[in-house]
Amino acid sequence: MRYDFPVDRLIAGFKHQKKLHYGAVLSKLWLGRCADQLGPLPDALIPVPIHWRRRLQRGFNQSIVLANDLGNALNIPVYHAVKHPRATHSQQGLNAAARRKNLHHAFAFLPSADVKNKHLAVIDDVVTTTATANTMAAILARNGAARVDIWCLARTP
């Protein structure tokens, strides 16, 4: 769906200019566009984690903000099932092969997370090459998730 205003500028402002109130707007836009197309709702939402240094630099994790907004609106719990223990370069500007290499061992499953036999939705702001989405889905599937969907605000062409 195309909007009459630049959604990419909302996303950039939210993610890179600390305009947290844009997150609520983006969540509402996403729900307005996608809520009737979701099918069976997942058992939990899993935000894509960021490394603690990036979170300190940015001041927040945009995926957690989105997951909390969507979880509250849809009455779905948010699980923190994956951590990002290894600092990596930003994925922006990298090609698909470099993105996959950059994510090698970047994420780790948190054994305390109860994902066995659950339908989960990974929450991310933007999907570009699917490297992050595929990595997250693989980790969750390896640890027993029955189904993993990817929910994002935008998909780059």
- Structural domain contains residue 1: no
Q: What is the DSSP pairing of strand 108-109 with strand 44-47?
A: unpaired
The structural domain count of the chain equals 1
Question: How far apart, in whole angstroms, are the C-alpha atoms of residue 100 and residue 94?
Answer: 9
Decide: 65 and 18 in contact? Cβ < 8 Å: no
Q: What Rg, from alpha-carbon coordinates, does the chain have?
A: 15
Top pLDDT among 21 and 136 is at 136
- Structural domain contains residue 142: yes
- Structural domain contains residue 87: yes
Contacts of 35 (CB under 8 A, 6+ apart): 74
For residue 89, pLDDT beyond 70: no
- Structural domain contains residue 51: yes
What tokens were used for 135? Answer: 């990595």
- Structural domain contains residue 94: yes
pLDDT-derived band at 130, boundaries 50, 70, 90 = confident
pLDDT-derived band at 56, boundaries 50, 70, 90 = confident
Considering the chain, what is the average pLDDT of its residues?
Answer: 87
- Structural domain contains residue 21: yes
**Residue-level pLDDT at 33:** 84
For residue 135, pLDDT beyond 60: yes
**Residue-level pLDDT at 121:** 97
**Residue-level pLDDT at 42:** 97
Task: Tell me the CATH number at 75.
Answer: 3.40.50.2020
Q: Which domain holds residue 68?
A: 6-155
For residue 3, pLDDT beyond 60: no
pLDDT one-digit tens code per residue, 95-105:
777 777 777 77
